[in-house]
Structure 1
Amino acid sequence: MAIALDHRPVRRAAGAGTLSHLVRELFERIVSAWQRYRVERELESMPFDLRKDIGFRSSNKTTR
């Protein structure tokens, strides 16, 4: 499973408690979560060799 981290600074406005701001923030979070989900699915669907070529580590397959 691939994990894509995205950090965006939180913007606080003077009227941060308004309903329109809360709805917009909720919508932005939903869109961001959906985009992260799509990126993770695209990365996981790539062949192992291609993921290795772009920098993903190979899984540790050593058994004891």
Structure 2
Amino acid sequence: MWYGPAATKKFGSTLNLEQGLRGSGEINRVLLRESIAATFNAFNSLPFYYNAIEVSTDVVN
């Protein structure tokens, strides 16, 4: 839900963070894993280039 309706449509609404972080193989699963990692970095690292909202909107676009 964090990444909006497009991600919900692609991955479903029952996928949790742990399942998303285990994504491998299919390119969309890898991109989801990397976007979750970027979101964590945005929340936890002051020098990270993007804030969490920018990560969320840039993943969908």
TM range (shorter): 0.3 to 0.5
TM-score, length basis structure 2: 0.34
Structure of larger gyration radius: 1
**Bigger RCO of structures 1 and 2 (CA < 8 A, at least 6 apart):** 1
> TM-score, normalised on structure 1?
0.33
Structure with the largest fraction of helix: 2
